[in-house]
Each structure stands twice: as structure tokens, then as C-alpha cells.
Homo-oligomer: A and B are copies of this chain.
Amino acid sequence: MSLDPSTVETPAAVVDRARMESNARRVADYCARHGLSWRPHVKTHKSTRVARIQLQAGARGLTVATPHEAEVMAAVCDDLLLAYPPVGEAKLARIVGLPRSVRLTVALDSLDVLRPLAAAAREAGRTVGVLVEVDVGLRRVGVQGTEAAVRLARAVQDEEGVEYRGVLFYAGHIRTPGPESDAGLAALSRQLGGLREALSAAGCDPEVVSGGTTPTLWRSHEIEGLTEVRAGTCIFNDRDALRVGAADPGDLAYSVLATVVSTAVDGRVAVDAGSKALAKEARGGDGTFGVLLDRPEVEVVALSEEHGMLDLGATAWRPAVGTRVRIVPNHVCVSVNLQDRLLVEGPDGLEAWPLEGRGRLGRPT
């Protein structure tokens, strides 16, 4: 059943289908042009239907972060990368319990994660691929330095139940554009070059070198030795992607439809999308939380749980109570994670798509 954007209950997450499909094609084409595999991270959309669009456009497989995302995406893809160390029996059981048809790879950075994973894989009678996660400067996870990476790669080779496939990194500290990023990308290439050389010398030549975020997406070909791009945000884009120059306004496929509920305060209006629809992530550092899709001069300057405050200081526009607006959040992944469903907009109105990958429980436990 098609829904009408002028009457559907707000706040609601709306996706422009044509833009989403065009985003998927553009990334897939870029990767194909540069001989890179695209393995988009589904954390952004958590939807099997969106994943199918990525796969049809040419994605080689999917990246997931949680056992639940893996279980859900196994229904549409038989090549999954868990870019997150599975720790604890509950998670391990779900991971090795994925359908046999799934070629599964896991990224990890320690023997403490490797050994229980290998034991669970052996017990389940399957082989799990492993990428050694290396820290390239974000200081989040990842082995420190080339020597530690080589040591862990050899340990993976020595372990039954797992198969060494290469290395993975997340360069979340490099944000294009600008000279700082030029230097960052050049340093990253040198770092990866050295790593690759050391791994090869030790008999651990990496078949996969997996990296690539949306901010650096269009410069992925500058990262020497990279084989795989995991960028996920690029399917929808967001205000942050605009800010770092990774997307143009016409690439914004996601917005939160909201309704003006109060015009009582001078110079502002309140809408019914708050931090429980947009997420209160102050990216960009200017203390604003979103912007109107069609009026980029109107920003969300304050968020309570169910109220968003639009600042009218830069516009002559004066909306009435009941007016509908579309808000682009700073960070789309955390906004999608707050929604009940996606309303995908095509020529015939809005169609509800489920977000099957939301939450953590596969079934009530």
C-alpha cells in the first residue's frame, strides 16, 4: 500500500529511491573503474531490500557489525564480512551458526578473539576466514605496528578452523578534502606498503586489503594496495558527507519528514523530530544537528527527545503549524537506527520497507 507524504504520521524516515539507486551505481562504477571490490557496510541501512540494490549494482558482498545483521543479511548475500571482533559465547554461537552457504570472514586483532573463534568454527565443522585488523591511526582497535600484524597473521595461519585472508583497517581519522587528508592518505599508503611487504616476506601475503570509509571514498584508488572498499554511508549520504565533500546536495537520499508543532517562540519553530528521530550527534562542531533538505539555510539548532528547533534567523520563510519539512541529519546511520521502518519514495508515493537488521536479538531469548 502506498502512503501519502502529506498525511503519513511524522516523524518518519523517507528515502528517495532514485537517488539511492544512483548512489549505489556511482559507487559500484567507481570501484569497478579502479579494480576495487565494494563490500558496503549495512550498518547504515539495516535493510535487506537496500542491500539487494547494492548487490545488484555490483557490490561483491556485504559488511556487518553484529550477529543480528549477519543473520539478516545471510538471506540476501552469501559473502559476509563481520568487521567486528566477536567476543563471548553467545555471539560466537550465532556467527558460526550462520548458514553453511555463507562464506564468512571475520576481522580481529588478538589471539584472545582468534582462539575462541577458531574453536567455535572447528566445533561447528566450518572454516571462517580471518582478516587481521591493523590500527592505522584512529586508536580504536587493531594491532599496533607491522611486527604485531605479522605475528597475528602467522598465528591465524597456524590455527585450525580459520583461514588467513588478509588485513583490514578503518581510517576514520582521515577526512577529505584538504591538505591534511593528502598527507594522511600518503602516509597511509606508505604504512600499508610496508605492512604488505613484511607480510609477504613472512609468507602471509594478503589476498584482501580492506578499508575505505565514505569520507575518503572517492580517493580510495590513491590508497596503495587497497583491494576492498567498505563505505556504507554513501548509499544515503548525510550532512557530514556533504561537509567533508564526499557528497553533493543531489546525492542526499535520506531525510526525516517532520511536522511543525509550534511557532510560539520568535525566530524559531519546533518540529516533531527530536533526538529520538535524528540523534543528537554534534558533528561538525558547530552545535547544530541537521539541516532542511530544501532550505539549506535553515538548521536544527537544538534537540530535545521529541522536539527539533529550527532557526529562522537566515530565512524569510515563516512556516505555520502543520507545515511539513524534511531534515537531513548530521549522521544518517544513527538516525536510521532510530526508525521503525523506511518510507521509500518513488513516483507512486511512499512504500514501507522493514529494517530487519535493527536491534540485537534474532529471536526472543
Q: Which residues of A contact B (CB under 8 A)?
A: 7-11, 43, 65-67, 84-85, 87-91, 109-110, 112-113, 135, 139-144, 148, 172, 259-266, 268, 270, 272, 275-276, 279-282, 302, 304-307, 309, 320-322, 333-334, 337-338, 340-341, 352, 359-361, 364-365
Chain B residues whose C-beta falls within 8 Å of the C-beta of A144 in the assembled complex: 264-266
Chain B residues closer than 8 Å to A304, beta-carbon distance: 140, 172
Q: Indicate if the CB atoms of A87 and B135 lie closer than 8 Å.
A: no
Nearest chain-B residue to A303 (Cβ)?
B281
**Cβ–Cβ < 8 Å partners of A281 in chain B:** 275, 280
Name the distance in Å between A90's Cβ and chain B's nearest Cβ. Answer: 4
Question: Out of B10, B85, B265, B360, which one reaches A141, CB within 8 Å?
Answer: B265
Knowing A7-B88, A264-B135, say if A43 contacts B305 (CB, 8 Å): yes
User: Hey, which chain B residues are within 8 Å of A307, CB to CB?
Assistant: 140-141
CB of B270 within 8 A of CB of A306, answer no
Shortest Cβ gap from A53 to chain B (Å) = 21
* Contacts A144-B266, A270-B140, A280-B281 given; does A85 touch B43 at CB 8 Å: no
**How far, in whole Å, are A337 and B84 apart by their CA atoms in the complex?**
23
CB–CB A275/B305 < 8 A: no
**What CA separation (Å) do A256 and B99 show in the bound complex?**
30
Chain B positions within 8 Å of A320 at CB level: 112
A261 to B113: give the CA distance in the assembly, Å. Answer: 8
Known: A280-B279, A361-B340. Contact between A265 and B87, CB under 8 A?
no
**What are 8 A-B pairs with beta-carbon distances under 8 A?**
A84-B261, A85-B261, A88-B322, A113-B321, A135-B264, A141-B265, A142-B265, A280-B280
Out of B266, B322, B360, name the residue touching A112 (CB < 8 Å).
B322
Provide the residues of chain B in CB contact with A85, threshold 8 Å. Answer: 261-262, 321
Residues of B within 8 A of A365 (CB): 9
The answer to whether A88 and B9 touch across the interface, beta carbons within 8 angstroms, is yes
Of the listed residues A109, A264, A337, A341, the one surrounded by the most CB atoms of chain B closer than 10 A to its CB is A264
Which residues on the B side are within 8 Å of A143 (C-beta)?
Answer: 264
Could you tell me if A110 and B262 are in contact, using CB atoms closer than 8 angstroms?
A: yes
A343: min CB distance to chain B, Å: 11
- Taking the closest CB of chain B, its distance from the CB of A349, in whole angstroms, is 14
A264-B110 contact given A270-B140, A305-B65, A337-B276, CB 8 Å threshold? yes
For A268, the chain B residues whose CB sits under 8 A away are 139
**B321 in contact with A272 (CB, 8 Å):** no
From B280, B334, B340, give the contact of A360 (CB < 8 A). Answer: B340
4 new A-B pairs (CB below 8 Å) besides A84-B306, A110-B321, A172-B304? A7-B88, A84-B261, A112-B320, A275-B279
Closest to A361 in B: B340
Q: Which residue of B lies closest to A111 (CB)?
A: B321
Report the bound CA distance from A142 to B279 in whole Å: 23
